[in-house]
Homo-oligomer: A and B are copies of this chain.
Amino acid sequence: MSLLFPVAAGFDLAAIDTSSTPGFSGDKKAAERELADSGGELAGLQERLFAESKFGGTRSVLLVLQAMDTAGKGGIVRHVIGETDPQGIHLHAFKAPTEEERSHDFLWRIRAELPQAGQIGVFDRSHYEDVLIHRVRGFSTPDAIEERYGIINEFERELADSGTTIIKVMLHISADEQRARLQERLDRPDKHWKYNPGDVDERQSWDQYQEAYQIALTRTSTVDAPWYVIPADRKWYARWAVQHLLLEALRRLDPQWPAVDYDIEAEKQRLAAT
């Protein structure tokens, strides 16, 4: 995992080459093959995590995805999470908050979507919007934002203590790569629907977003809930890397088929009598 980019002391977002492929020496074809080949292992680990929750297990996994527009969150969900069993996944895309959501504290809507025991939760955007877009667009005061880093760390520590393995990923693209992807959405009729004029507005604040990410990642990368910055100019690499992080986390959890609480032989006899 250290071959990727865990956020630690001396972290400098601007120094990361968004087109690099740390930890992977092969090409696109090799990455896609590894992704497909590892789908079975991922699904198997997922099934055992789910199984253990049926007999008292309380562990879960939470994958948090953050990124600038077009960086590929959707592709991660489609190609990495899409290889797992939908029954063990709790996916939620956080949009601009509703009026009801805004009437509560910023973690209220997050708590409502946490994975249950046995599940892999996937957040497409998250509570980090409250220290990213809120900082850049001034939706909250600097004091409120300052306070949130600590609130987030405390929240995630409690979550980890309760059995959730947290993996936070920033998909990191360059400004040039974003322009090319937005251009493609404008050029291709089958991609027009993915384009939002607001994306260009946000793009005009590129540097401020990078600064907000630098601060947020530095302030909230903890032992319990580390951040990983994944270079994402190459989609195939980012997909491989996220699957790699999920696999490593699940291998460490090492879920096992649970011991059951019924008498197997007695049940065989009951069944035979029907």
Say yes or no: B193 contacts A257, CB within 8 Å: yes
Say yes or no: B183 contacts A268, CB within 8 Å: yes
Min CB–CB distance A96 → chain B (angstroms): 14
Each complex incorporates copies of this chain amounting to 2
Say yes or no: B87 contacts A91, CB within 8 Å: yes
- Mostly helix, strand, loop or mixed at chain A's interface? helix
Say yes or no: A267 contacts B200, CB within 8 Å: yes
A138 sits at the interface (CB 8 A): no
Count contacts on A: residues with CB < 8 A to the other chain: 42
Other than A87-B93, A189-B257, give 16 A-B pairs with Cβ distance below 8 A.
A52-B193, A54-B193, A55-B193, A74-B87, A82-B82, A86-B89, A86-B91, A87-B91, A87-B124, A186-B267, A190-B257, A192-B260, A192-B264, A200-B267, A200-B271, A200-B274
State the A residues within 8 Å of B (CB): 51-52, 54-55, 74, 77-78, 81-82, 85-87, 89, 91, 93, 122, 124, 179, 182-183, 186, 189-190, 192-195, 197, 200, 203-204, 206, 257-258, 260, 262, 264, 267-268, 270-271, 274
